[in-house]
Structure 1
Amino acid sequence: MSALKTSVQGDKSASERVQLGTLTSPHGVKGGLKVYSYTSPIENIFQYPDWLVGTGESLTSMRVRQGRPQGKGLVVFLDGVDSRTDAEALAGATIWLPTQKLEPLGTDEFYWYQIEGLSVVTVSGDVLGRIEYLFETGANDVLVVKGDADSLDKRERLLPYIDGVVQRIDLEQGVMTVDWDPEF
């Protein structure tokens, strides 16, 4: 099983889209914007040229005219954003993508947003909590599982996202089964 970080943040209220990143601040005077990307590698955000840009309660469809690495980050130029003033109006906006535009995955592959929020149950039936989020360590991804009202206790646990620990993922039931000692 592999978890792909193409999108790490799901919109819990609108499961038909996922957050790809954020437009952080203007770059230059010609309408460029710095981008904080949730994709891995970060440049993968430019594989999706049509974005839904969220400001406040509204979403606007915007097309990427040009995107490029800039230092350790990214810069994007969007159609219709032609000045620093235009870019300033989008600073802090969120970047969304309809889930149907994500690349299809193979068997036993999941996007991070699909895993976040799943209930985690041990093979012996102990409920450990819900997956709050994942992060990368280099060796493997790590699940951050937070105890809740339905769990064995209120502890936060860090579980490696690897074969042998993760036994089964059932998206329909919203459950991940793990081989993990609840005392650890």
Structure 2
Amino acid sequence: MEYFDVGKVVNTHGLKGEVRVISITNLPEVRYQTGEPLTWFGEDGTSVELTVKSHRVHKSFDLLTFEGYSSINDVEHFVGGMLRVNEEQMIELPENEFFISDIIGSLVVEDTGEEVGKVKEVLETGANDVWVIQRQGKKDLLIPYIESVVLDVDVDDKRVTIHMMEGLDE
């Protein structure tokens, strides 16, 4: 079965079994609901099935507790490991929505057919996301994720078609 990263356990918090997590999910409110299953994977390949008991946000971290783990001694060994969900827990997204991880590495082509580069990362800026396109022999291109620029996203073929508006490539 395939697993997908949700967050990395970076430390314990307090004495009552809470762990500090740096999240890499865009759905923390879904993943960390009370009763949600998560699988912890250690760096040595071991894994433990867990059930979320509580979740709260503190500073830039998600703080979680798990059923059956009520003290710092129970959770210390989770530090450094990764919390994941299996493919059956993946959420079906509405049409024209996708996970950022699905588009990283996608080939970017202009609507003229010319190859631009590959999607290197997505910057979440508030108003609209900005996609960083890595190009051969040129500096990275930043494109806004808006309808007039990003015309088509083909997740299966890892291909993105854009319209190069005037002033984008300067």
Structure 1 length normalisation: TM-score?
A: 0.78
Q: 2:51 aligns with which of 63, 70, 78?
A: 63
- Aligned mates of 1:86, 1:128 — CA distance in 2: 50
- Give the Å deviation of 1:112: 1.2
Question: Hey, which of these two has a bigger chunk of strand by percent?
Answer: 1
1:81 shift after superposition: 2.8
Instruction: Spell out, residue by residue over 1:6-61, the C-alpha distance to the aligned partner (whole angstroms, 9 max, x if none).
Output: xxxxxxxx9x3321111121011121101222234644431481112121133332
Work out whether residues 25 and 87 of structure 1, in 8 Å CA contact, stay in contact via their aligned partners in 2. Answer: no
Does residue 36 of structure 1 match 2:22? yes
Partners of 1:119 and 1:141 lie apart in 2 by 18
Q: Does 1:163 align with 2:147?
A: yes
2:117 paired with 1:133: no
Report the Cα distance in structure 1 between the residues aligned to 2:96 and 2:73, rounded to whole angstroms. 45
SS where residue 110 of structure 1 aligns?
coil
Q: CA deviation at 1:166?
A: 0.6
Q: Distance in 2 between matches of 1:134 and 1:124?
A: 23
Larger Rg: 2
Q: Aligned equivalents of 1:171 and 1:72: distance in 2?
A: 30
Q: Which runs of 5+ in 1 are unaligned?
A: 1-13
How many percent of aligned residue pairs carry the same amino acid?
A: 27
The answer to whether 1:111 aligns with 2:99 is yes
Q: Establish whether residue 91 from structure 1 lines up as the match of residue 75 from structure 2.
A: no
Contact 1:165 1:180 in 2 (8 A): yes
- 1:8 paired residue number: none
User: After TM superposition, what 4+ stretches of structure 1 lie above 4 angstroms from structure 2?
Assistant: none
**Counterparts of 1:99 and 1:130 in 2: how far apart (Å)?**
26
Residue number among 101, 104, 110 corresponding to 2:89 in the alignment: 101
Q: Distance in 1 between matches of 2:142 and 2:72?
A: 43
Tell me whether 1:23 sits opposite 2:12 in the alignment: no
CA distance in 2: counterparts of 1:59 and 1:132, whole angstroms = 30
Larger RCO (alpha carbons 8 Å, 6+ apart): 1
After superposition, the Cα gap between the structure-2 partners of 1:58 and 1:154, relative to the gap in structure 1 and judged at 3 Å, is farther
Superposed CA RMSD in Å reads 2.4
**TM-score, normalised with respect to structure 2:** 0.84
Out of 103-112 and 32-41, give the one that drifted further: 32-41
Give the length in aligned residue pairs: 166
